Chain A
Amino acid sequence: MLKTIRYYAGMGIYYIKLSLLGWMEYPMNLAAWLGTNLLQFLVGFATIKFVVQEFGALNGWTYSQIAFLYGLAMLSHAFSIILFIQTWHIGGIMLAGELDRFLLRPMNVLFQFLFMDFNLIGLTDLLPGVIIFIYGCMQVRFSWTLYSTLAIMAVLFGATLIRGALFMATGSIAFWTKSNSDFSGINLNIMDRTTMYPLTMYPRIIQMIFTFVLPFGFISFFPASAFLGMDNGFSFPSWIIWFTPVVGIAVFTLSCLLFCAGLRKYDSAGS
C-alpha cells in the first residue's frame, strides 16, 4: 500500500518533470502565448470597466468588487488549464489511440490520463489572473489573515476541481458517441459567464441551476460574495466559502467515475 503510494507519487512528479523539460525546449512558444493572452484578458477587463462606468454598477457590485471576483475566477481557470487541459479533448485522445497505450502500461489509466499533460500554456492565463486578482484585492482592501489565506487556497483548490469535472464529464460522452465531439467551447463560455460576473444579475431559475445542478457558483461567486459581504441570492452564511472544496471533490469524483464507466465501454480505436 505504502509502496503503491510512493510509486504513484514518484511517477506523478516524473511526468510533471518531463512536461516541464518539454516546454523548456520551445521557450518561444510560451512567450508567444503569453503575449496574445495577456492582451486578450486586458481587453476583456477594459470592457468591464467601460460597462461599469457607463451603467454605474452590476447589481450593486462596484468595479473594484468585480475585479476581485474576476481575478479569483481567472486563477482557478489558469490552474485548470495547467492541470486538466487533456480533459478538453478526451474524444480526440481516444480516437488517436492514446488510451490503448495507457491500457498497455501496468499503471492506473485514470492516473496516466490526469498526469499525461502538465500544460504550461496555463501560465499565460495565470499571470494576468494574478495581476487582476492583486489589483482587485487592493481595490477592495482585502485583509490577508491566516484564515482568509487558507480560505482562498481552499477555494482555488475546489474551483479548479469543479472546472476540471465539467470538462471531464462532458468529454467522457465521447466514450458513448465514439466521436470527437468537442464541448470545450461551450463549457468555457458558460464558465466565463457564471464565474466572472455576479450570479445575482441572472434570473432566479438560472441562479438555481448554477448552484444546485451545475455548481459553478462555487467557483468564484459564492466565495467572493462571502469575502466581500455581498448578497449571494440565497442568504448563504459566510462559511459557504468552505463548500467550494467539498463541492469540488464531490463533482470531480463523480466525473472520474463517469470517465471510468466510459473506459469500460471503450472499444479501442480502429486498427
Chain B
Amino acid sequence: MPLIKVNDLVKEYTVIKKGKGLKGALKSLLHKEKEILRAVNHISFSIQHGEIVGYIGPNGAGKSTTVKMLSGILSPTSGEILIDGLSPQKDRKRVVQNLGVVFGQRSQLNWDLRLGESFELLKRIYRIDDRQYQENLAMMDAILEIHKFIHTPVRQLSLGQRMRGDLAAAMLHSPQVLFLDEPTIGLDVDGKQAIRKFVKEINRLKQTTVILTTHDLGDIQELCSRLIIISEGTIVEDGSLSDLIDRIAPYRILHVELYEEAELPIHPLAEKIRQDGTAAVYRFDKKKVTAAQLIEDLSCFCKMKDFRLEEARIEDIIRAAYHKKEKLEGV
C-alpha cells in the first residue's frame, strides 16, 4: 500500500478582484467581482514508503498549494488525499503527528523564542518522550551543527541557520513523512549542502519519505530518485531523472577536430551535422551507439587531434518538460 495517495485532486481559489482607482473601488464595494483560479487541476500520484520525490514545476505551477493540501492546511476543492490511510483534512491532528513540514519562504519557528526554547515547546506539543528527543537532537546536531546557535533567538538567525533550525524542528518528533517546500531557496553553497546531506541521512537512517519542491538542479540531481513535474496545475511527467533525460534528450553531440583537412564519412548511427575544415560535429543517440565506439570508427578514416562531448543540460530538459515538449532537438 502506498504511504501517500493522491487521487484526482483539485484546488480552486476564489480571488476577489479589486477595481482600479476610486471608481473601481466603489464599484467593487457594491458588487464584488470574483474570479475562480484553478491552482491544482486533477492531480493523482502515489508515493511509496522511503521514496524521495522531487515535486518540480515553474513558479505558480501549484506546488505549494499541493503541499499545503497534503499537510492539512488547505482543503481540496475535490479529490482525495490519504497519508498512511488517513485524510489530512478529516484526521488533521493524527496526520500531522506523523508529518514534518518546512517552508523555505516562511519559518515555522516562533520568532520570539530562542531556537532551543522552540524545540522544547515542540517536544511538549508533540508529546515526544525524553529519550527520543535527546536522540533526535543529537542526530540532527551531528549533521546540522545546531548547537552553535541553539541559544540564539530565532529572529536573529541567519537564513542558513534558520533553515537548519526549521529542518530540525520538523524532524524532532520522528515523522514518517517530510514535506519540504523550497528548502534551499536563497541559501549559499554550504547551506544547500547541509540540507541535502540531512535529507539523505534521515532517508537512509529512518526511511523517512520526503516530498521536496525546489528550483535547484543540485537538489534534483543529488536527492530525487523520482521526479513529479507539474505545470499549470497538472502533472506533465512522473518518473526518474535518467528516464526523463533518455526520453526528452536522447542525443549527445560529438565535436571532432582533425590535424589536417579531410572529408569525414557519414556514420550509420550518427548524423553529421556540419564540417568546417578541420572541425566536424556529429549528433548521435546514446542508446544506439556509445561515444567510444563512434570515436573508434571515425579514427579509421582520419587522424583526430581532439574531441569534446556535449550533453543536454538538465536545465533545458526540465524546461522542455515544463512546456510539455516531447523532445529536445538540438541539445
* A residues neighboring B (CB under 8 Å): 7, 10-11, 14, 18, 21-22, 97, 100-101, 103-108, 177-178, 264, 267-268, 271
Contact: A106 with B113, CB < 8 Å?
no
Q: B73 on the interface (CB 8 Å rule)?
A: yes
Interface residues in B67-113 by Cβ distance below 8 A to A read 68, 71-75, 92-94, 96-97, 99, 101, 103, 105-106, 108, 112-113
Contact: A104 with B125, CB < 8 Å?
no
Contact: B125 with A106, CB < 8 Å?
yes
Contact: A106 with B124, CB < 8 Å?
no
Q: What is the CB-to-nearest-CB distance from B66 to chain A, in angstroms, rounded to a whole number?
A: 11
Q: What is the CB-to-nearest-CB distance from A130 to chain B, in angstroms, rounded to a whole number?
A: 28
Interface residues in B104-129 by Cβ distance below 8 A to A read 105-106, 108, 112-113, 117, 121, 124-127
B108 CB contact (under 8 Å) in A14, A104, A106, A108:
A104
Measured in the bound complex, the distance between the Cα atoms of B7 and A117 in whole Å is 39
Q: B307 on the interface (CB 8 Å rule)?
A: no
Q: What is the CB-to-nearest-CB distance from A9 to chain B, in angstroms, rounded to a whole number?
A: 12
Contact: B74 with A268, CB < 8 Å?
yes
Q: Which residues of B contact A100 (CB under 8 A)?
A: 68, 73, 103, 106
Given A14-B121, A18-B113, A108-B93, output 8 extra A-B contacts at Cβ < 8 Å: A7-B127, A97-B106, A101-B108, A103-B72, A104-B108, A106-B94, A107-B125, A178-B16
- 6 smallest CB-CB distances across A and B, nearest first, come from A106-B97, A106-B93, A271-B64, A103-B73, A106-B96, A100-B73
Contact: B64 with A104, CB < 8 Å?
no
Contact: B105 with A104, CB < 8 Å?
no
Contact: B126 with A18, CB < 8 Å?
no
Q: What is the CB-to-nearest-CB distance from A114 to chain B, in angstroms, rounded to a whole number?
A: 15
Q: Which residues of B contact A21 (CB under 8 A)?
A: 117
Q: B45 on the interface (CB 8 Å rule)?
A: no
Closest to A179 in B: B16
Interface residues in B195-223 by Cβ distance below 8 A to A read none
Measured in the bound complex, the distance between the Cα atoms of B100 and A105 in whole Å is 10
Q: Which residues of B contact A10 (CB under 8 A)?
A: 124
Q: Which residues of A contact B65 (CB under 8 A)?
A: 271
Q: Chain B: how many interface residues by the 8 Å CB criterion?
A: 30
Q: What is the CB-to-nearest-CB distance from A115 to chain B, in angstroms, rounded to a whole number?
A: 11
Measured in the bound complex, the distance between the Cα atoms of B73 and A264 in whole Å is 10
Contact: A104 with B74, CB < 8 Å?
no
Main secondary structure of the interface of A (DSSP, over half): helix
Main secondary structure of the interface of B (DSSP, over half): mixed
Q: B259 on the interface (CB 8 Å rule)?
A: no
Closest to B75 in A: A264
With A106-B97, A107-B93 known as contacts, the answer to whether A18 contacts B121 (CB < 8 A) is yes
Measured in the bound complex, the distance between the Cα atoms of B113 and A120 in whole Å is 16
Measured in the bound complex, the distance between the Cα atoms of B71 and A101 in whole Å is 11
Q: B13 on the interface (CB 8 Å rule)?
A: yes
Question: Most chain-B Cβ atoms within 10 A of its Cβ — which of A100, A106, A177?
Answer: A106
Measured in the bound complex, the distance between the Cα atoms of B106 and A100 in whole Å is 10
Measured in the bound complex, the distance between the Cα atoms of B94 and A257 in whole Å is 23
What are 10 residue pairs bridging A and B, where the CB atoms are less than 8 Å apart in the complex?
Answer: A10-B124, A22-B112, A97-B106, A104-B96, A106-B125, A106-B126, A267-B13, A267-B74, A271-B64, A271-B65
Q: Which residues of A contact B13 (CB under 8 A)?
A: 267
Q: What is the CB-to-nearest-CB distance from B316 to chain A, in angstroms, rounded to a whole number?
A: 26
Contact: A104 with B106, CB < 8 Å?
no
Q: Which residues of B contact A18 (CB under 8 A)?
A: 113, 117, 121
Measured in the bound complex, the distance between the Cα atoms of B73 and A22 in whole Å is 28
Measured in the bound complex, the distance between the Cα atoms of B175 and A105 in whole Å is 12
Contact: B101 with A104, CB < 8 Å?
yes
Measured in the bound complex, the distance between the Cα atoms of B32 and A178 in whole Å is 13
Write out, one digit per residue, whether chain B residues 122-149 have a CB within 8 A of any chain A CB (1) or not (0): 0011110000000000000000000000
Measured in the bound complex, the distance between the Cα atoms of B105 and A271 in whole Å is 8
B73 CB contact (under 8 Å) in A14, A104, A106, A107:
A104
Q: What is the CB-to-nearest-CB distance from A133 to chain B, in angstroms, rounded to a whole number?
A: 32
Contact: B73 with A11, CB < 8 Å?
no
Question: Most chain-B Cβ atoms within 10 A of its Cβ — which of A18, A21, A22, A104?
Answer: A104
Measured in the bound complex, the distance between the Cα atoms of B117 and A35 in whole Å is 31
Measured in the bound complex, the distance between the Cα atoms of B105 and A237 in whole Å is 58
Q: Which residues of B contact A271 (CB under 8 A)?
A: 64-65, 105
Measured in the bound complex, the distance between the Cα atoms of B105 and A106 in whole Å is 22
Closest to A109 in B: B92
Measured in the bound complex, the distance between the Cα atoms of B127 and A10 in whole Å is 11
Q: Which residues of A contact B93 (CB under 8 A)?
A: 106-108
Q: What is the CB-to-nearest-CB distance from A169 to chain B, in angstroms, rounded to a whole number?
A: 21
Measured in the bound complex, the distance between the Cα atoms of B103 and A7 in whole Å is 28
With A97-B106, A104-B101, A106-B93 known as contacts, the answer to whether A268 contacts B68 (CB < 8 A) is yes
Closest to B118 in A: A18
Q: Which residues of A contact B16 (CB under 8 A)?
A: 177-178
Q: Which residues of A contact B126 (CB under 8 A)?
A: 105-106
Q: Which residues of A contact B72 (CB under 8 A)?
A: 103-104
Contact: B125 with A268, CB < 8 Å?
no
Q: Which residues of B contact A7 (CB under 8 A)?
A: 127
A11 CB contact (under 8 Å) in B71, B96, B125:
B125
Contact: B124 with A11, CB < 8 Å?
yes
Q: Which residues of B contact A11 (CB under 8 A)?
A: 124-125
Closest to B74 in A: A268
Q: Which residues of A contact B14 (CB under 8 A)?
A: 267
